[in-house]
């Protein structure tokens, strides 16, 4: 398990942090976990978490991967973007409250410009979801956002 608090690894705060902890990471992959809580921002009336939230669980795991690497190098956590997902498949419509989920992300591509692709899986008791996430982490996120804002203002 990783000693850094999730709030120091993710550019999220409070209730928007959906994963519970980082179990492990290395140069190419990350493994995170969470227990589905009955009450949360995205829960259905029965307390379950819709399967489509699995994409966000995967994205937060990928963000934690970047955060772990930044912290390991003594750098601050940078903002990243989920550009899209391909082939999201899940064998359940929702994750029941109390479900223990493990999320695994494997980097299959990342270039010097910050574009990356991760193969992700969520597993739990009788639960399996998978997707390929396309992500973008610009080298200087704040400058990138400022340039984007200025070009939109023109």
Segment 32-71, tens digit of pLDDT: 999 999 998 999 999 999 999 999 999 999 999 999 999 9
pLDDT band at 153 (very low <50, low <70, confident <90, very high): low
What are the structural domains of the chain?
A: 6-153 (3.10.129.10)
pLDDT in the model for residue 14: 80
Report how far residue 81's alpha carbon sits from residue 92's, in angstroms, rounded to the nearest whole number. Answer: 26
pTM assigned to the model: 0.89
Of 88, 95, 92, which Cα lies nearest the Cα of 44? 95
Angle at 103 between CA 97 and CA 106, to 5 degrees: 165
Chain centre distance of CA 123: 15
Query: Mean of the pLDDT values across residues 113-139?
Result: 93
pLDDT of 144 strictly over 60: no
pLDDT in the model for residue 7: 86
Query: Mean of the pLDDT values across residues 89-104?
Result: 98
CA torsion, points 1, 131, 78, 110, in degrees to nearest 10? 100
pLDDT in the model for residue 35: 97
Report how far residue 107's alpha carbon sits from residue 116's, in angstroms, rounded to the nearest whole number. Answer: 7
């Amino acid at each position: 398990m990783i000693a850094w608090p999730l709030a120091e690894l993710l550019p999220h705060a409070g209730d928007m942090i959906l994963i519970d902890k980082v179990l492990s990471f290395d140069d190419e992959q990350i493994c995170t976990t969470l227990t589905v809580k009955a009450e949360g921002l995205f829960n259905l009336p029965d307390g379950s978490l819709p399967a489509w939230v699995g994409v966000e669980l995967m994205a937060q795991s990928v963000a934690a991967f970047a955060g772990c690497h930044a912290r390991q190098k003594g750098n601050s956590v940078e903002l990243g973007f989920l550009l899209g997902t391909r082939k999201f498949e899940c064998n359940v419509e929702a994750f029941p409250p109390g479900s223990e989920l493990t999320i695994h992300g494997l980097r299959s591509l990342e270039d010097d410009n910050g574009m990356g692709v991760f193969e992700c899986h969520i597993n739990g008791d009788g639960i399996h979801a998978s997707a390929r996430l396309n992500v973008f982490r610009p080298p200087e996120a704040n400058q990138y956002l400022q340039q984007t804002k200025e070009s939109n203002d023109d």
